[in-house]
Amino acid sequence: MTETGYIGREHRNVGFGEALRLGFSNYALFRGRSSRGAFWFWVLGTAIVSVILSGIDYALFGSSQPGFLGGIWSLAILVPNIAVAARRLHDVNHSGWWLLLVLTGIGILLLLFWYVQPGQAQTNDFGPDVEAGKG
């Protein structure tokens, strides 16, 4: 902690592997904050695994079958996807309930805008400037 009451930005740098670890270790943690890096590395990592599993599904089952492995993967990451997205919204001082905008279709654009914004460098309504789950 510093005199201003929050931990410096250097403590929020999250790499690719750590973002995936944090996503799974905080599987259903809907409180706290996730940095831009943690969010986007999580999105990248899960997308890479999805593409790989789609390729394996195609090789094993052909195009006439739905993606079995991809479907299992999608179910496995459903809750952590929502949790990471909610924590990312907390980082820009918005409630996780704003995720419901995805149901409107056009709300996705507002969510994307918030996802690319830098997080607040001080304590906000959702806690101090600390990466959720990072020790």
At residue 13, the pLDDT reads: 79
Asked whether residue 134 is domain-assigned, the answer is no
At residue 121, the pLDDT reads: 86
Asked whether residue 61 is domain-assigned, the answer is yes
pLDDT tens for each residue of 83-115:
999 999 999 999 999 999 999 989 999 999 999
Axis-axis angle for helices 68-91, 107-116 (nearest 10): 70
Query: By the 8 A CB rule, do 14 and 38 touch?
Result: yes
- How many CB atoms are located within 10 Å of the residue 24 CB? 13
- How many CB atoms are located within 10 Å of the residue 53 CB? 18
Asked whether residue 82 is domain-assigned, the answer is yes
Backbone φ and ψ for 132, nearest 5 degrees, come out as -60, 125
Asked whether residue 45 is domain-assigned, the answer is yes
Instruction: Tell me how far apart the alpha carbons of residues 118 and 48 are, in angstroms, rounded to a whole number.
Output: 24
At residue 4, the pLDDT reads: 37
- How many CB atoms are located within 10 Å of the residue 61 CB? 13
Can you tell me whether residue 38 is helix, strand or coil? helix
What residues make up the domain containing 52?
10-116
Asked whether residue 54 is domain-assigned, the answer is yes
At residue 131, the pLDDT reads: 81
- How many CB atoms are located within 10 Å of the residue 41 CB? 21
Asked whether residue 2 is domain-assigned, the answer is no
At residue 14, the pLDDT reads: 85
Asked whether residue 122 is domain-assigned, the answer is no
For the chain, residues with pLDDT lower than 70 are: 1-12, 64-66, 133-135
For the entire predicted model, the pTM comes to 0.84
Domain count, the chain: 1
Asked whether residue 103 is domain-assigned, the answer is yes
